[in-house]
Structure 1
Amino acid sequence: MSAREVRSREQWAALADEMLVAVRPYASPHQALITLPGAPGGYGTAVDGLEGFARTFLLAGFRLAGERGADPLNLAEQYAAGLAAGTDPSSPERWVRPEEHGQAKVEAASLALILDMTRPWIWDALDGGVQERIVDYLSSVVGDRGYPRTNWLWFRVVVETFLRSVGGPWSAEDLEHDLALHESFVRADGWLSDGEGRSYDHYVGWALHLYPVLWARMQGTLADDDRRARDVARLDRYLQDAVRLVGADGSPLLQGRSLTYRFAAAAPFWAGAIAGVPSTPVGQLRRAASSIVTHFVQHGVPDDDGLLTLGWHGAWRPLVQSYSGPGSPYWAAKGMLGLALPADHPAWTTDEEPLPVEVADDLVAVAAPGWIVSGTHDDGVVRVVNHGTDHALEGSLGGDSPLYARLGYSTATAPLLDDEAWAEPFDQAVVLLDADGRSTHRSGMTLLECAASDGVGVAASRAVAHRLQVDPTAQAHGSGRVGAAEPVGTLTVVSVVRGAWEVRAVRVDDADEGLTLRSAGWPLSGEHELLPDGVRGDRLTSLLVADGATTQVRVDKDAGPLAPWTATPWACVPAVVGRWWVGAVCLAQHPSAPPVAVAAAEQLTVTWADGRVTTTALPIPQED
């Protein structure tokens, strides 16, 4: 593991320049396509080459803007040549156009954003004919109703805003529609959902909060003072939660799709610095961003060739979605947005301030995604206990996505992500098993409670436990699998969280006979098979204790991106209708003694290792 740190602006700039130089051997003769090594993505080599150009163009643009045009690497000349060739219909390097492939709509936004940000050094220096071709290339998005109803709305907003600034075509109706769609995604406490479902992940920060801040600064923006203030207020509140989701070692939360974008997770912290949010100190924002990038650099990212691979630390292809190609990881450039700020900006001149988990134990409830967030100072790990996020709609009966629907995520563990994990939930899941060992899914659950007080968090959810006959032909982009669902019972799960421990109470109702109830804990990964004493790794231990059951350990190989081996503790009991079953799970460096919990008279009483006693009202069974 490297000891290299990325803290000062000089260190950030050095990393960016190394990344930009490393991709140059993979550029086409006229620089329009950067096709990086590796198997083609699901959209083909032409899209891969466009992604390689557009996403590294983001990083090049940040460097130019932050240096006020100083350009020792000749980035402006390199990318201007690519712009000319990519938009030339007669060039063998011509780009796939937005009307030809949806992914080009994504990349068009990066082109427009950087052309605006670096206007004096690239756009203004382009030949008039090249400018006309770029306008023609981008203008096909105007009036296009084929955009998904997700964060993609910002790709069109950014493109049309740039077009408006250079006298190109644009549509007030498009912008009104897209901005209204953005407003429909707004949830409590500054959070947004990436679409109509309960889609809470890194896209909240690196897309839905990032683009409003950058759009408000584009020359063609229609953002008025009220909208700017509203967007900044939401970002300000969101960041108060987001800084709590970074581990002391700089790892972001391993949850949600597109994790191969890695340190793009730093983007909202730079957005906060640019916007001047009042509630989170700029030194803490930079600390979060620098810690995230340093975490990856110290784990071999970029690789020995200076390239970003498809994976998390090292290359691990199962982490990514089917459409991802070798250029896709360069959306990580978003996390280096801070380089667009000059050296004399307060974000760079202010000393770093520690993250919450670096100061003390930290526990909060986050209402929108239904999360209890618990960070422990002793080991620096941040854990999320999840009762409200599944990348689906409440009441739906799809499959559980390991990236969204598990009961727990952390900065030190990754969910199991092999093929079996998508079909049969195991780690951090409470399920009903039939005689053949088939497990149920909980996607579509109802969030019942999410609150925290005096260092204790309580969250609860109720789900129709359903088996799923997976449709093997359906495409999945991070959501759970689809297929025919068969309800077999109702599961109510209550989590009481304090420090590294979660007490988990489970009630079974309306269930078929002969079922088994299984609860599993944190999946802990290591370079070697982990010891089954609890599950002990090199630093952390994963524990599960359960009322009336013997804890067992399942070991999986090559099922996650962190290390070759993953071990998960679990326990089973017969499913008894109407009875609360109680257990506890823990992920810690130095676990305390397990809490003792008793469910009786519609109340869960927990006696913690230090003698503190807490009581929690249990949900009343659902009426038919």
Structure 2
Amino acid sequence: MSKYTLFTILLTFGALSAAAQKQTGVEDRAAWARLLYKIAYPVVHNLSQETLKQNLPLETGPDYYLPVKKVTYLEAVGRTMAGIAPWLALPDDNTSEGKLRLQLRTELLRGIAHAVDPNSPDYLNFRTESQPIVDAAYMAQAFLRAPKALWEPLDSVTKRRVIEEFKSLRNRKTAYNNWLLFFGMTEGFLLSIGEQYDPLRLDYAYRKMKEWYVGDAWYSDGPLFSFDYYNSYAIHPMMVDMMKVMTDKKLLPVEEYDLALRRMVRYAEFLERLIAPDGTYPPFGRSITYRTAAFQALSQVALMEKLPSYIQPAQVRCGLTAVMRHMFEGPQNFDANGWLVLGFNGHQPMIADQYTSTGSLYMATLGFLALGLPADHPFWTAPAADWTSKKAWSGQPVKKDYKVEF
């Protein structure tokens, strides 16, 4: 491990530890920003330098069955983009955080051009295999989350190339589960920018996911229910973001979007309660190597300022900071060059799924969406507050839980 890498790790985790001990919003935000930058930097910087394919490790889970060199690079890029987009959408400023944001956004815009340039060594594969359907969707979601920061600044050639890559996905069929939403996202993005889109794929994704709603804010992942974090990894956030486009374009009544949003808010309540008093959370279900992506829906609800009145923004901030501290306060989740390693909290390749490679892991950035709230927002400025399980286990008053009928 180089001295620079070690220094960066110590700086990041030192900030996280300090934030956890003092629990001020300024320290929490600094810890989030440094950590998100540390996770995203290897992907974004290497793509900007056309060295992503050269330097991204190709570690895979047991019984991995995909052609890793055809899929892992787009996985890393699309997932990273979706997680950092709200943060990069904030206005420029002269703070140390602002400088990190500006650097990352500048390099990402350069990298996106390389990603869709057939003459670049880092030209990403959208044209073959099924997996790119997934990760093009996360790229599309990033554009929807930060259009002025990530889409509008692109030159016309790059924009046209992105559009053509998204349209090229239509020659493949998707799986009969949450993957329907991935086509919904790319088609929804095309609709949002006035491009020709496939209304059938968009409408079918909405209708099937609505049909697979099983109650109390949980969707089934296809015909059969799976107890895992996919309602947060993909289903709620993509359902809401896709339906927002459809509502804006008058393809759905606003009441349908409002219902989907209410369901995501209720699901976010479950996620907040899953954070244990010490900041750990249960590693159950598929794809636990996605780490902090388990809290994407909670972070997005906070970003949208839709938390219920009885959940203070500060308790979400403190709970998520505690999660990040427990997961990233040591170097166990990074290799010597700063890339994420297969595992949940450490190098644990035995728990990686058969579709998981190094690029897959960058789903972890999705837990940081609330960093898109400005530094003067109450999420960051309010005094520290205990989250629900910490209150419950210390004998404090706790709101009784309930079930929903919608």
TM-score of the two chains, using structure 1 as the length reference: 0.53
Counterpart among 234, 241, 244 of residue 207 in structure 1: 234
- Kindly provide the amino acid, as one letter, of the partner of residue 268 in structure 1: A
What are the Cα deviations for residues 127-147 of structure 1, in whole angstroms up to 9, with x where unaligned?
2122111110011245x6711
- CA pair 209-346 structure 1, distance change in 2 beyond 3 A: farther
How far the C-alpha of 1:302 sits from its partner, in A, is: 4.1
2:50 touches 2:120 (CA, 8 Å); kept in 1?
no
Does residue 276 (structure 1) correspond to residue 306 (structure 2)? The answer is yes
1:310 touches 1:316 (CA, 8 Å); kept in 2?
yes
Partner of 2:197: 170
Partner of 1:85: 114
2:286 touches 2:353 (CA, 8 Å); kept in 1?
yes
1:299 touches 1:313 (CA, 8 Å); kept in 2?
no
1:248 counterpart SS class: coil
Tell me the matched-pair count.
Answer: 363
Distance 1:329 1:83 in 2: 19
Counterpart among 348, 372, 375 of residue 340 in structure 1: 372
Distance 1:352 1:235 in 2: 25
2:267 touches 2:297 (CA, 8 Å); kept in 1?
no
Counterpart among 67, 73, 80 of residue 56 in structure 1: 80
2:78 touches 2:138 (CA, 8 Å); kept in 1?
yes
Partner of 2:134: 106
- Kindly provide the amino acid, as one letter, of the partner of residue 226 in structure 2: S
How far the C-alpha of 1:33 sits from its partner, in A, is: 4.6
- CA pair 118-28 structure 1, distance change in 2 beyond 3 A: closer
- CA pair 26-81 structure 1, distance change in 2 beyond 3 A: closer
- CA pair 117-357 structure 1, distance change in 2 beyond 3 A: closer
What are the Cα deviations for residues 513-550 of structure 1, in whole angstroms up to 9, with x where unaligned?
xxxxxxxxxxxxxxxxxxxxxxxxxxxxxxxxxxxxxx
- Between structures 1 and 2, the one with greater strand share: 1
Equivalent residues in 2 for 1:383-462, closer than 5 Å: none
Distance 1:319 1:287 in 2: 28
- CA pair 155-352 structure 1, distance change in 2 beyond 3 A: farther
- CA pair 10-29 structure 1, distance change in 2 beyond 3 A: closer
- CA pair 231-80 structure 1, distance change in 2 beyond 3 A: same
- Kindly provide the amino acid, as one letter, of the partner of residue 322 in structure 1: Q
Distance 1:169 1:79 in 2: 26
- Kindly provide the amino acid, as one letter, of the partner of residue 158 in structure 1: M
Distance 1:71 1:339 in 2: 15
2:280 counterpart SS class: coil
Equivalent residues in 2 for 1:189-268, closer than 5 Å: 189-215=216-242, 222=251, 224-268=253-297
Counterpart among 327, 342, 346 of residue 310 in structure 1: 342
Distance 2:148 2:45 in 1: 27
Distance 1:44 1:32 in 2: 14
1:229 counterpart SS class: helix
What are the Cα deviations for residues 483-516 of structure 1, in whole angstroms up to 9, with x where unaligned?
xxxxxxxxxxxxxxxxxxxxxxxxxxxxxxxxxx
Distance 1:212 1:352 in 2: 32
Counterpart among 29, 42, 67 of residue 43 in structure 1: 67
User: Larger C-alpha radius of gyration, 1 or 2?
Assistant: 1
How far the C-alpha of 1:52 sits from its partner, in A, is: 2.2
Equivalent residues in 2 for 1:353-372, closer than 5 Å: 353-361=385-393
How far the C-alpha of 1:342 sits from its partner, in A, is: 1.9
Distance 2:83 2:46 in 1: 16
Distance 2:45 2:164 in 1: 29
Distance 1:83 1:242 in 2: 33
2:77 touches 2:139 (CA, 8 Å); kept in 1?
no
Does residue 320 (structure 1) correspond to residue 352 (structure 2)? The answer is yes
- Kindly provide the amino acid, as one letter, of the partner of residue 80 in structure 1: L
Partner of 1:65: 89
How far the C-alpha of 1:233 sits from its partner, in A, is: 1.8
Greater shift in the superposed pair: 49-58 or 297-306: 297-306
- CA pair 189-60 structure 1, distance change in 2 beyond 3 A: closer
Greater shift in the superposed pair: 78-87 or 261-270: 78-87
What are the Cα deviations for residues 451-490 of structure 1, in whole angstroms up to 9, with x where unaligned?
xx99xxxxxxxxxxxxxxxxxxxxxxxxxxxxxxxxxxxx
- Between structures 1 and 2, the one with greater helix share: 2
- CA pair 240-21 structure 1, distance change in 2 beyond 3 A: closer
Distance 2:242 2:106 in 1: 25
How far the C-alpha of 1:36 sits from its partner, in A, is: 2.1
Counterpart among 363, 384, 393 of residue 331 in structure 1: 363
1:265 touches 1:292 (CA, 8 Å); kept in 2?
no
2:219 touches 2:225 (CA, 8 Å); kept in 1?
no
1:26 touches 1:35 (CA, 8 Å); kept in 2?
yes
Partner of 2:39: 19
2:228 touches 2:284 (CA, 8 Å); kept in 1?
yes
How far the C-alpha of 1:218 sits from its partner, in A, is: 5.3
1:31 touches 1:85 (CA, 8 Å); kept in 2?
no
Structure 1 gaps, min length 5? 362-376, 379-452, 455-624
Higher RCO, 1 vs 2 (CA within 8 Å, ≥6 residues apart): 2
Identity %: 28
Counterpart among 325, 332, 342 of residue 294 in structure 1: 325
Equivalent residues in 2 for 1:534-549, closer than 5 Å: none
RMSD: 3.0
Distance 1:199 1:35 in 2: 35
- Kindly provide the amino acid, as one letter, of the partner of residue 30 in structure 1: E
2:46 touches 2:52 (CA, 8 Å); kept in 1?
no
- CA pair 216-9 structure 1, distance change in 2 beyond 3 A: farther
Distance 2:148 2:53 in 1: 23
What are the Cα deviations for residues 302-360 of structure 1, in whole angstroms up to 9, with x where unaligned?
43643321001111111111121111111001001111222233322333432232123
1:196 counterpart SS class: coil
What are the Cα deviations for residues 80-122 of structure 1, in whole angstroms up to 9, with x where unaligned?
232222222344432211x411111111012112223332233
1:125 counterpart SS class: coil
- CA pair 172-350 structure 1, distance change in 2 beyond 3 A: farther
How far the C-alpha of 1:71 sits from its partner, in A, is: 5.4
1:191 touches 1:238 (CA, 8 Å); kept in 2?
yes
- Kindly provide the amino acid, as one letter, of the partner of residue 200 in structure 1: F
What are the Cα deviations for residues 119-175 of structure 1, in whole angstroms up to 9, with x where unaligned?
223322222122111110011245x67111222222122211111122222122222
1:192 touches 1:208 (CA, 8 Å); kept in 2?
yes
2:71 counterpart SS class: helix
1:66 touches 1:339 (CA, 8 Å); kept in 2?
no
